[in-house]
Amino acid sequence: MHLPTEIFGDVVVVHAPDQLGGMEVDQFVNFLRQIHPKCVVLDLDAVEIIDSAGLTAILDGQDLLREASGDLRIATSNHWNRKILEITRLSQGLEVFDSVIEAVKSYRQAPAGTNS
């Protein structure tokens, strides 16, 4: 799986596909393993469907990055995606930002692997 990415210094922004679940899940985690970033922002704005497997993949991605002294942060202005993260309480364990720019800037304020 190739996902669109952008690089801002040492931060990699990954733009998630319109569906994050099912077959996309393993491909997403493998994609993170292949690119070896430490500071990742996952942009969920274009995601229309997130199922439980997709939520698990986000947590697996966070674990993978933290094992490498990195971190995963979420960017989304999509009301429904934010609501899903709140209802499932993932927003308590992940840093969620309204925009990619805010998420990227947050890495400059706190070292990777720490929550601000």
Here the tokens at position 76 are 């989304």
Is pTM beyond 0.75? Reply is yes
Residue 116: per-residue pLDDT: 43
Residue 47, φ and ψ in degrees, nearest 5: -75, 125
Domain 5-109 belongs to what topology? Answer: Transcription Regulator spoIIAA (3.30.750)
Where in the chain are the domains?
5-109
Please give the Cα distance from 2 to 43 (Å, whole number). Answer: 15
- Considering only CA atoms, which of 103, 87, 114 is closest in space to residue 42? 103
Please give the Cα distance from 58 to 84 (Å, whole number). Answer: 13
**Distance between alpha carbon 63 and the CA centroid of its chain, in Å?**
11
- Measured from the Cβ of residue 75, the count of other Cβ atoms closer than 10 Å reads 25
- Measured from the Cβ of residue 95, the count of other Cβ atoms closer than 10 Å reads 19
**pLDDT digit string, tens, across residues 4-54:** 999 999 999 999 989 998 888 888 888 888 877 789 999 999 999 999 999
**pLDDT digit string, tens, across residues 68-106:** 899 999 999 999 999 999 999 999 999 999 999 999 999
